[in-house]
Structure formats: structure tokens, C-alpha cells
Amino acid sequence: MASEPAAAFEVGRQVKPGRRVGAPPVWAVLIEPYALFLLFLLIVPLANVALFSIHRYSPTRIALPDLTFDNYRKIADPYYLRLFARTLKLGLITTVVCALLGYPLAYWLARARPRLQAFGLFLLIMPLMVSAVIRIFGWIVILGRKGLVNEVFAALGLEPVRLLYTDTAVVIGLVNVFLPFMALPLMAAIERIPPNLEEAAQNLGANWYQMFRRTILPLSLPGLISGSLLVYSISISAFVTPALMGNSRERMAAQQIYDEVLVSFNWPSASSLALTLMLLTLALMFLALYATRRAARLERGR
Amino acid sequence: MADGIELEVEGLTRRYSPQVAVGPISFEVRAGEFFSLLGPSGCGKTTTLRCIAGFETLNAGAIRLRGERLDDKPPHRRDVGLVFQNYALFPHLSVFDNVAFGLKLRRVAKAEIIERVGRILRLVDLAPLAERFPAQLSGGQQQRVAIARSLVLEPRILMFDEPLSNLDLKLRIQMRDELRSLQRRLGKTAIYVTHDQTEALALSDRIAVLSHGHIEQIGTPDEIYERPATSFVAEFIGNSNLLPATIVERGEREVIVEIERGLRLRSAGGNLAGDGHEVVVLIRPERIQIKAPGVGGTPGHNRFSARIVTVTYLGDDLRLDLELATGQMLQGALKNAGAARDWTPAQMVQILVDPADLRLLRR
């Protein structure tokens, strides 16, 4: 039917230029591949996880067909409560440390000359380009019992400290990788602040610290919030870094989930933990976004 | 106007690179004076202002505020207010909080802040808009917030960096007049940076004309316009006819010069700046009188016959391009009224110039 497409095209022209009758809108065509990808590789498995989480565990058949909320009830256990508390706490510490280190860095990058900025960005993103295992091995060399830090301590006549396989090591490792996720949104936010606002503040009598607190900080808050959300949500689901650098008994949630899936084969329990972690993250995100939008609305003076 | 020197700039030099430098620049601003730095872009006027505000460091020279060294203080301790070209209002703060910004930093009591901000907002006619945010204001209103924000701190000097350039023409003239009357009423010393000669002439007590990082002339608007020190000043301020000439006869009351093709002109004796032999003749277009041929002129005036080449219609003014019989081109300006409206291209006319209106400048 050689004439058919042309005819359809002509009909389509009368309705709306460039669109055939009955054809899906352009946006649908554009997002279709990724939408399918998400549907089959994220939403379907996630629904499966959700289903597992409300089934009873069986050591022999993994999951029994009867429905139960026991997997969730179990999370009220002190063991699991501590697990989540530790996960959220380490996520929070990582986020705070990233913010503290990221702000000066982002400010410097935002105000640097273009060539210096490009070089700085390259250095900032470098940890992301190194394989996790190699990066962590590097940290083990530095933080280990006979590592660089302790050798320096020994040379100074100080007692060796236990760094590796502690929460400190986990935070160091997480900050190392996730700092760009904080610094980049911050940098983008600070770049949008005209430099002469800083000068205006100083002209009105603000020293550098007062200027920062009263202009840069409030005006870059959206960047800080999106950076914090990113860092927080990826650090509470971190697996490799806590597994290789943390204490095997003081775990983070992802390690527990991994163990329950692959070691004890308690898929229902692992599913409930995974969903709880996900819902916690989502809830925190919505809370933060709601707070920013409120702040933005206040700023516009409505 | 008080005679005290408020601000003294001495040998201010700021080098960006061996090729690009500003200064040495020296001038004094008297207390209560409206002082303008006028020049084309890149002449160093904004750099000078930023040096006074403390955003640029001097490579050499000194700035003194009432005799006290200013240039070694950090920007936040200088007590000189600056109104930025794009106003630089804080977008996250209301009009009230923008104006209160400096007072809060100075830990002024809350009741006093409310009182002082309220007073200054009434002064600039913004009291009803105190709760608005900068994005909700018009350009002219933002401008007034920026002025109020500096003014409320009662700085020794108020500085303006091209504050009107972002406004449209009508508003620019209105704000210009408001600015002038505000400054007069408060008796505040003001330094004003602009590239717009009309603005500088209308606002200033004195003007410093800058070019390529140097001061060409400092004087009252009248002095700058009537007796420009250099051909740059003559050309930059207003319209001008500039003709290279050599001095033929130097008398007490009269100087005779010769421009190209042997045409001789008479100039009043006091109009000669400097003692060089080579000069530039300046004739302002509006000082050229145009008459029909044969009509008797004032005796003693320079008189030539010329042909009208073009008449440019400017609304309130008419600009005439005139070609002298000896070939030189001159520009004349007439008010668009009366007989002036009858001049048409190709007409033959006679031109009269009073020797007093013929300035001789250093070449």
C-alpha cells in the first residue's frame, strides 16, 4: 500500500501539522524506550519484591503462599531498629560532612575563572571514575592498622588508632565518592547568584562571614537541599563501601539485605527491609522538597 | 556648598596588565558636592569607584576620607554607600529587609530599625511597598530601594555606578531629577559614574572627564562645556566642529588662526588654552548663526558663505550639514522654530560665528 502513508499524512495535516491521526503524541514516542525499560526492569521487579514482603518465609521453599505482615512487624525488633538507626545516622553524618566540605569547594568552583573551574571539576569527579574496589583498596592502605595514618602516628610517637572497619572509615569512604553529588548542585546554585550581591552586602557593612550567611547561604539553599537529598539517599543505600570498610557486625541496611537475600535466603524479610528503606528515603525526600517549595513560595512573597 | 574636602583621591593607580591600567588619577570631592566621573566605557571611571568602595586594590596612590586613609580598610568598614548599576538587591529579602540589612548588621535595636527604615522608605516614596520583594517592583522602584538601602546607613559619601542606565528614557529623566533633589535636600556628598554627558551636566556640581585611565579635565558643567581643556573633552561633551589650525597672529584681545586652504578665523584672546602653535578650533553647532546671503551680520563676526548639504530633522532641533566655499564641512544646530524651518538642502547661506564662540584647544 504505497499510497497509504501519504494519505494518512494528508489527513493528519488537516488535524494538526506534523501529526498523524491516531498516532501517539511526540512525547510518548520519545520516552517510550525508557518507560519500557523502567516498567520491566524496575516496576515489575519492585512489585515482585512488594509481593515477597507480605509472604511468609519458609527455609525450604523461600516463600509460602499465605499472606502476612510479620516481615514488617519484625522490623520493630531492637536489632532491626538499630540497623535502620545506624544506617540513617551514617547517612546523616555523610551528608553533613559532604555539605561542610562541599560548600567552600562549590563556592570556589563557582567563582573560579573558567579554566580553573574546568580543572577543579575534573579533580572533583575523579573519584567517580575510579573503580570502587580500587578506591577502597587505596583507603585500606591508608587507614589500615599498618597503614599510612598509623605509620605517621607511630613516627610522632602516638598510639596507633583503629580506623579501618569502623563507622569513621565508612563515612570517609562514602564522603570520598559522594562529595561531587553535593558540590555540583551547590556550585550550580552559587553560580546563579550575581557576584555583585556579595559586594552589595559588603558595602552595607557585612564582613565575609556575615555576607556568606545572609546572602550566599539562603540563596544557594535549593542547591544545598538537592545535594543533601542526593547524598543522603545514595549513602543510606550504600553497600560496597560499608561492606569493605565497615565493621561486619555493625552493618548498614544494604548489607543486611544482601545477607538475607544471598546467605540466609530469607527473601520475604529482605524484601520488607528493602521496601522500608525505600519508603523512608522517599518520605524524607518529599519532606525536604515540600520544605524547599514552601521556602521558595515565601521568598516570592505570596 | 561647604568648602571642606570630604574625599581625596591622590595618584590612584590600578594596573590590570602592562597594557591596561587606570591612573594616576587625582581629584578632591568637597562636602555636599555632587561630583561626577564621566567618560566612555573603559576609561577607568568604574574602576575608580570600585577602588573607593574597596572592591579593587590600588597599585599606587591613596584615598582619604576626611583626611583619614581609606584604601587600607576592608570594604565593609569604609562607610561609603554604593548604588550598583543593576541595583544588586537581595532577591530573598523584602523591600523592608533589604533596607534594614545594614542596620541589622550594626545591631541597631529593632524599634529603631523600624523607625529608620520607615522614614527612609517614606523619603523615597516606597512606604506602601515595604512587604514586596524586589522581583515584584518596577525598575524605578528597585532603583529607589537600592538608594534607600545605602542612604539609611547615613554614609559619608553616596556613590552611584551608572544607576540610570537600565531605565527607559522617560523614567531616566524623572529619576535623574529625583536623585538631584534628594541629594540637595540631604546635603549628601555624592560621586556619580556615568557615560551619559547629559546626565552628568544636569546632575553635577563638578565633573571629572576621564579618557584612557586619565583625567582630561575637572570643572563645573559650564566650564567643561564652554571651555573644554582638550579636544577629547570637546568631542565627548556635546556636539562639536573641530578644525585643525595654526596660529597666525597672537594678540591681546584677538587671536587669528588659519585653517586648511588658507581660511582665516578670528577668536577672542581669552579663548586660547596653552601656548602651542598648532591648535584645534572648536565651534559648537548651536553657536553657528545661519543667515540668507546678503543679510548684514554683526561686525567683527567671522563670516563665510556656505551651502546646506543636508537637513536632519530631530524633532526639537534641526541639524544642518554645511559645506563652506573653501570645502570644509561644518555642522550647525538650530531650534526647530520660526525661520529655521525654511532651510532646505542645496540652499546657499552665510554663516556667522562670534569670535567669543571660537575656542582654541591644544592639539
Let me know: does B88 contact B146? Beta carbons within 8 Å: yes
B187 & B334 share domain: no
**CATH at residue A87:** 1.10.3720.10
Reported ipTM: 0.83
A301/B136 touch (CB, cutoff 8 Å), yes or no: yes
Tell me the three cell numbers of residue B60: 599606587
Q: Is residue A246 part of a domain?
A: yes
Q: Region B9-37: what's the mean pLDDT?
A: 89
- Average pLDDT (A278-300) is 78
Cβ contact, residue pair B133, A299, below 8 Å:
yes
C-alpha grid cell for residue A295? 521556602
Round to whole Å and give the CA distance between A277 and B35: 66
Report the gap between the CA of A230 and the closest CA in chain B (Å): 24
* Cα atoms found within 13 Å of the Cα of residue B190, Cβ hemisphere only: 29
Distances (CA, A) of B125 to B128, B170, B177: 8, 18, 15
User: Do B90 and B205 fall into the same domain?
Assistant: yes
pLDDT at position B36 is 95
* Percentage of chain A modeled with pLDDT above 90: 55
What is the tens place of the pLDDT at every residue in B179-227?
Answer: 888 898 888 999 999 999 989 999 999 999 999 999 999 999 999 998 8
Residues B92 and B200 in one domain: yes
> Which of A111, A203, A214 is the mutation pick for testing B, counting most B CBs within 10 A?
A203
Q: Which residues of B touch A (CB under 8 A)?
A: 53-55, 74-78, 80-82, 84, 86, 88-92, 94, 101-102, 105-106, 131-133, 135-136, 149-150, 153
> How far away is chain B from the Cα of A68, in angstroms, using its nearest Cα?
51
Q: How confident is the model at residue A299 (pLDDT cuts 50, 70, 90)?
A: low
Q: What is the pLDDT of residue B251?
A: 77
Residues B88 and B135 placed together within one structural domain of the fold? yes
Relative orientation angle of helices A114-129 and A78-111, to the nearest 10 degrees:
150
Nearest CB among A200, A205, A300 relative to B106 is that of A205
A52 within 8 A of A68, measured Cβ to Cβ: no
Residue A273 is assigned to a structural domain of this protein: yes
Q: Are both B163 and B74 inside the same structural domain?
A: yes
User: Does residue A192 have a pLDDT over 90?
Assistant: yes
> Worst-scoring range by mean pLDDT, A147-161, B234-248, B294-308?
B294-308
Higher-pLDDT residue of A302 and A47 is A47
Nearest to A300 among B53, B101, B133 (CB): B133
Q: Is residue B41 part of a domain?
A: yes
Going by C-beta distance under 8 Å and a sequence separation of 6 or more, which residues neighbour residue A70? A56
CATH number of the domain residue B75 falls in: 3.40.50.300
Pick the more confident residue, A63 or B276. Answer: A63
Q: Is residue B269 part of a domain?
A: yes
Residues B68 and B213 in one domain: yes
Query: Is the same domain home to B294 and B329?
Result: yes
Nearest to B101 among A204, A207, A299 (CB): A204
Read off the pLDDT of residues A44-86 as tens digits, 9 standing for 90 and up: 999 999 999 999 888 888 888 888 888 899 889 999 999 999 9
Among B221-235, B254-268, B347-361, the range with the most confident prediction by mean pLDDT is B221-235
The answer to whether residue B237 sits within a structural domain is no
pLDDT band at A21 (very low <50, low <70, confident <90, very high): low
Report which of residues A299 and A155 the model is more confident about: A155
Same domain, B40 and B185: yes
Range A47-58 burial, b when 16+ CB lie within 10 A, else e: eebeebbbbebe
In a domain? residue B56: yes
- Residue A8 banded pLDDT, cuts 50, 70, 90: very low
Give me the mean pLDDT over the B79-90 stretch: 92
Tell me what the mean pLDDT of segment A266-280 comes to: 92
pLDDT for B1: 40
Query: What domain range is A99 assigned to?
Result: 77-300
Residue B292 has a pLDDT of: 81
Select, from the ranges A3-7, A279-283, B41-45, B191-195, the one with the highest average predicted confidence (pLDDT): B191-195
CATH number for the domain harbouring residue B340: 2.40.50.140
How much is the average pLDDT of B332-345? Answer: 81
| Domain annotation covers residue A33 | no
A188-192 mean pLDDT: 94
Which residues in chain B have their CB less than 8 angstroms from residue A215's CB? 90
Q: Would you say residue A232 lies in a domain? A: yes
Q: Give chain A positions within 8 Å (CB) of B97.
A: none
Interval B172-178 mean pLDDT: 87
Of A128-132, B112-116, B228-232, B297-301, the poorest mean pLDDT is in: B297-301
- Distance from the Cα of B15 to chain A's closest Cα (Å) equals 19
Kindly state whether residues B310 and B193 are assigned to the same domain.
Answer: no
Residues B224 and B247 in one domain: no
Instruction: Give the pLDDT confidence score for residue B279 in this predicted structure.
Output: 84
Scanning B27-168, the segments in alpha helix (DSSP H) are: 45-53, 95-105, 110-123, 139-151
Residue B131 within any structural domain of the chain: yes
Residues of chain A with C-beta less than 8 angstroms from the C-beta of B94: 301
Domain that holds residue B204: 5-232
Q: What is the mean pLDDT of residues B71-83?
A: 92
- Give the domain-ending residue among B208, B232, B256: B232
B102 and B192, same domain (yes or no): yes
Q: Do A200 and B84 touch (CB under 8 A)?
A: yes
Last residue of a domain, one of B205, B232, B259: B232
The overall average pLDDT reported for chain B is 88
Segment A98-123, tens digit of pLDDT: 999 999 999 999 999 999 999 999 99
**Mean pLDDT over all residues of chain A?**
87
Q: Are residues B248 and B206 located together in one domain of the fold?
A: no
- pLDDT(A164) > 70: yes
Tally of structural domains, chain B: 2
